[in-house]
Amino acid sequence: MRSLAAVFAALATPALMLTAPTAEAQPPLPPLPPPGAECNSPNCTPGIQPGVVLGSYCNNTTYYAFGVTSWGRLVFCGSPRRYEPRWFRSPEMHGVKLENDLCPSMDGEVAQAPDGLFLTCVSKDGRSYWERGDL
């Protein structure tokens, strides 16, 4: 009787070892807007890097410069006073915008151009518009 139990245990063990551990389920990403549709928030902005550690080093302050931390905080890759770039908390992000388009009442806020260029809203000469954010 013991040998029969040992045989069943030996046969069951390899089957248990072959099963892969289940990964923790990640929530699905929101769908991207259809081509030509307006994007006014981070959740429809392409190229946002997941799993960023706030304050860690990053390498691109010009294109696709946005990321999100494990707890959902939006960050951007910036280089203050030309020091080595790091991930910082992002100002309010307005999705995908076109360079030089108007951005009234959004001074200091950020967006991304369709090609991934980091944009910031600046106010000059009596108007507010989207300008390169890496300058």
Domain presence at residue 5:
no
Tell me how many domains the chain contains: 1
pLDDT tens digits, 61-80: 999 999 999 999 999 999 88
Domain presence at residue 15:
no
Provide the b/e sequence for 31-51 (b: ≥16 CB within 10 Å).
Answer: eebeeeeebeebbbbeebeee
Domain presence at residue 128:
yes
Provide the b/e sequence for 57-91 (b: ≥16 CB within 10 Å).
Answer: ebeebeebbbbbbeeeebbbbbeeeeeebbbeebb
Domain presence at residue 13:
no
Domain presence at residue 11:
no
- Percentage of the chain beyond pLDDT 70 is 73
Q: Which domain holds residue 122?
A: 39-132
Domain presence at residue 124:
yes
Give the sheet arrangement for strand 127-132, strand by strand: 93-96, 110-112, 118-124, 127-132
Per-residue confidence band for 81, with pLDDT thresholds at 50, 70 and 90: confident
Both structure tokens of 10: 């030996």
Domain presence at residue 61:
yes
Domain presence at residue 8:
no
The pTM for the full model equals: 0.72
Both structure tokens of 96: 């995908």
